[in-house]
Structure 1
């Protein structure tokens, strides 16, 4: 929605930050990211990198494995391929991940953990388990499960479709 440049800024009613779902989720996300980043820092990984390496591991990317294609990995992480390649650069630079051409189709690139990367991933899993248990205890087991379920719902394709399918509720439509 375009903002009318002729409207004086002081005449515009600010949105209610206390009632804004986006603001509340962003603030919570930043705080949770900091908590998890601090907890898994001894592994040498950030929480964002932990998501990437854990998915590589989950999808057969242990040092002796074939590893997922970058397209599969991006889909599993719910990110664009360009964002994935950007996220992989420091992991490749630091010797955590290697990118190889597929043996059968050289156009397909696959991600595998290096032995060092597997060691860091296993250390991250141990640290993550501890901080995640603390998170569950701080929120309360039922609340933690509800929060994860609601987060999965908001991140689902169905939710996105519901939010983007109709323009009738949008201002200026």
Structure 2
């Protein structure tokens, strides 16, 4: 017997033996959020495509710029922590930016085992070009959702990404004040 879901054919699968029928009626927050982020990611990727960037790469350029302090570039660990990704995923994502001359990686002078990332002049120029494309895409999303829904979505996403949420999840308790 096969169960159909409204998630689409790619996410439908046969019902495993021994799984209670009630399981298949449960809402999956993870799947819903992943579908939503894939959709938004496609829209922002389309906006960045003429510049040869993906939205995730734009986010990395922004993070490197934001984390850079007077003459001191961020470490890869700092960037990974900001983006909530594993260091291996970050190094993989940085490869095309390094290859295209937008980012340079340097050993940390204080800890030669660590690397620091810096925007090149070309990287900074590409980031400046990308900001207007991002703003247009972001404005269209805001208009489509309406400002109240868009603000609520960002607030919810920030909450889920927070240490407060992670602590509550790990302890098995509801969020306080929510």
TM-score (norm 2): 0.79
**1:101–1:110 Cα contact (<8 Å) kept:** yes
3-state secondary structure, aligned to 1:15 = helix
**1:91–1:97 Cα contact (<8 Å) kept:** yes
Report deviation, 1:84: 1.2
1:92, 1:75 → 2: CA distance? 20
**1:146-165 alignment to 2 at 5 Å?**
146-165=152-171
Higher RCO, 1 vs 2 (CA within 8 Å, ≥6 residues apart): 1
Partner of residue 98 from structure 1, selected from 89, 104, 114:
104
Question: Superposition RMSD on alpha carbons, in Å?
Answer: 2.3
Q: Deviations over 1:109-158 (max 9, x none)?
A: 11011111111111111100111011111100111000000011111122
1:22 to 2:57 alignment? no
Aligned to 2:10: none
**1:122-161 alignment to 2 at 5 Å?**
122-161=128-167
2:120, 2:61 → 1: CA distance? 10
3-state secondary structure, aligned to 2:43 = helix
Aligned to 1:171: none
3-state secondary structure, aligned to 2:24 = coil
For structure 2, which runs of at least 5 residues remain unmatched after alignment? 1-14, 174-178
Aligned to 1:121: 127
Residues 1:10 and 1:102: Cα distance change in structure 2 (over 3 Å): closer
For structure 1, which runs of at least 5 residues remain unmatched after alignment? 1-6, 168-173
